[in-house]
Structure 1
């Protein structure tokens, strides 16, 4: 994104406008291509899809890598759908454009790989593999391959300077293990300083952010050598801590997964929708929101308080969609639904292991993919009624549990 932005600047296209136009154009072009390839969709399905896409669409007013990612993935999906929904092969030129969009999405966010690899596997026909185990192995190999080649591309080809952001996960997990396991301290941190961190409430199940703030708990990151050479040893410390304290690690991870899924939580979860006003900066970019943008943000924020804004409900929907599509006779719409369901579910489930914050923006693609997959399956022939009913039941149960939790839990509890 930084290299693309600098390219726009070099061409005389200044400010955030070029990236804003790009993400708006890609997102809505993908939706238009997808919709145009469908036979007539029932009004109730279209209305639900519009509601479900409001939160992702609201984030498109913010020039941020998450918005660029969902725009690129939606455009790629629309191009593929324009052919596959009509049971036609994707031409080489169109496939090339899709490849560029998918590579861009993967390089924007590290966790995009969990959503992109399933799309590629299904769209490419799984390489002739027919059984679940070989297909799962293929997806795992694809994820590992992308994770291996991404750093050289970023640092050598694109010239990115190391920020050590990859060390955030082991630092946050080590803090969680120490917090739940009653461990005296973290490697390199004096015992008294860890007690101080605990007394300050530095660890929180929602996010790691306190450890990045010098005014709060940055001394923890400094002590473990987060930005220095000693920080490279965090991964070894992490592996040993997980092996020695699996229960504490599981408590930390499950607690955080619940928070990032916004499931059994109180009302009023923060970090839901994009800010309508630009972030303060000293380079003169961005703008204050007009009444229209503020109105969109208010509507999206209200919707985020309902099951439409709870990733746990979207996880139930994506798994139900996958289960239903897997039992549906093969067709263009069915295959598209299966690809999108796997993409959404894999990305959501990845947060059980790799998440360090609970912002809703991390789940935008899962919302888009599940919505489009559901629309595609609604026009597929031979959808098994019992599987579909089971999927709706799972969604209803996930939503009901979330509602009950919000009624019982007081703000600030977790």
Structure 2
């Protein structure tokens, strides 16, 4: 017997087909994706190299690596140089991963019977800050692109009818997640929820299996950067010292008691007061304009002598002065997320490469100026404040729990939330680029949640919607008030 009502897909085809036989939603998604990639490739060609990229490219040229920045990225860059020297191939790689992921996610939403929300998912790729930052050749952009593709593979694997296709897409998702995990020491926070969602359901069928899968996958993802560094014989640069020194400086500042080991510095508390800045750790770094006597170089020398275990010093300071540690971490996180601060973020992205031996430069052009201007204007609103995207990720996660939404939506919102909140512990510098994935992940999770709720045709009741709405609106309002009153 023929149904009197069309199915979701039939209804979609009836309503959304354009004059040329292609559904208008699909045409809009493809146009947004192609135009987005072309816009950034044209505006930022051959890709902007900040200091991080300059160091990594030198390692790629030398085929000799350090672990201060991800050697996995430098190794890939070394092989991309066979296509063309310079940042261009890496720019195309991160753009391709980013926009391929956005396309897969948007088309998947469209296929589920939500053409308008599919277009909205494609629009998420045009968020001003991530859009501008995708023109910067940097690990944060590459990681965001890789995770976007991972989410796309993961979603399509859940609806593939062919078992072999389902397995292939699931494996592709896990490979992309593992690659993303090699790009930052704290990337495992973003990757672990996605990895759990991408695993076969049999791995999660019971409480013990879920716990074991979570533990093993998190451990593998956390160890991935070190494993790659060891495989590439990357020089150990004691990268953990940046976090340790920053935290010791913060605890010293808030307690008035020296937490540093004996660095042969007279009156270290007063010296630290001059060096410490909750904005970032750079005042202790080797590239600081005014080197700090308590800084990285002297601390590393002490560690190299074998007389000091920096982790033990750090743990002792944190355990002994937990309140001071919390004050320091919260002060930095507040600035890093641009929450209760008097001003909006500094320029979100860059418009030119740093000076480099190869003279790679970006030609100024109106498109670049427009993209950069849009990002900086957005920084004056909640669109550019990381705290608001962290709040959105939390709101979606709560909605997923209360409405029992699909595990993929839960995983994406948890990924965005954990990664953003991770900077409360791991952050050593402020910059919107650290939150690219949190912004993109939260936006995509919100669209996917809206799509699933719309298909149910049973919207959230008022009680279930109040808390998520408050979680989104209250931080934005507080941040806005802070800028008007501080």
Q: How high is the TM-score relative to the length of structure 1?
A: 0.88
Closer/same/farther in 2, CA of residues 60 and 279 from structure 1, 3 Å limit? same
> Paired residue for 2:256?
182
2:319 maps to which of 243, 252, 257: 243
CA distance in 2, matches of 1:147, 1:191: 36
CA distance in 1, matches of 2:276, 2:387: 23
Answer with 1 or 2: which has the greater Rg: 2
Maintained 8 Å contact 2:389/2:439: yes
Maintained 8 Å contact 1:126/1:135: no
The CA deviation string for residues 164-203 of structure 1, in whole angstroms up to 9 with x for no partner, is 2121111111111111011135212345252453453x11
Instruction: Give unmatched runs, 5+ long, in structure 1.
Output: 410-414
Shift of 1:54: 2.5
> Paired residue for 1:340?
412
Maintained 8 Å contact 1:224/1:230: no
The CA deviation string for residues 262-309 of structure 1, in whole angstroms up to 9 with x for no partner, is 111111332x52202122211222423322112101101111221111
CA distance in 2, matches of 1:51, 1:6: 28
CA distance in 2, matches of 1:374, 1:388: 13
Listed as ranges, the matches of 1:171-320 within 5 Å are 171-184=245-258, 186-190=260-264, 192=266, 194-198=268-272, 200=274, 202-212=275-285, 213-221=287-295, 222-225=297-300, 228-230=303-305, 233-270=309-346, 272-320=347-395
Closer/same/farther in 2, CA of residues 25 and 52 from structure 1, 3 Å limit? closer
Over 4 Å off, 4+ runs: 85-90, 133-138
Maintained 8 Å contact 2:107/2:118: no
Maintained 8 Å contact 1:185/1:191: no
The CA deviation string for residues 35-60 of structure 1, in whole angstroms up to 9 with x for no partner, is 11113344798299548722112111
SS of residue paired to 2:182: helix
Listed as ranges, the matches of 1:134-149 within 5 Å are 139=214, 142-149=217-224
Closer/same/farther in 2, CA of residues 384 and 127 from structure 1, 3 Å limit? farther
Shift of 1:100: 2.8
**RMSD over aligned Cα, in angstroms?**
2.7
Shift of 1:103: 2.0
2:139 maps to which of 54, 65, 79: 65
1:121 maps to which of 196, 215, 229: 196
Q: How high is the TM-score relative to the length of structure 2?
A: 0.76
SS of residue paired to 2:130: helix
> Paired residue for 1:3?
75
1:36 maps to which of 79, 100, 107: 107
Shift of 1:105: 1.1
Is 2:452 aligned against 1:377? no
SS of residue paired to 2:309: helix
CA distance in 1, matches of 2:410, 2:147: 16
Closer/same/farther in 2, CA of residues 47 and 267 from structure 1, 3 Å limit? farther
CA distance in 2, matches of 1:298, 1:88: 46
User: Matched residue pairs, number?
Assistant: 401
Closer/same/farther in 2, CA of residues 15 and 312 from structure 1, 3 Å limit? same
Closer/same/farther in 2, CA of residues 344 and 227 from structure 1, 3 Å limit? farther
1:106 maps to which of 178, 181, 188: 181
Maintained 8 Å contact 1:337/1:376: yes
Maintained 8 Å contact 2:101/2:148: yes
CA distance in 1, matches of 2:104, 2:227: 34
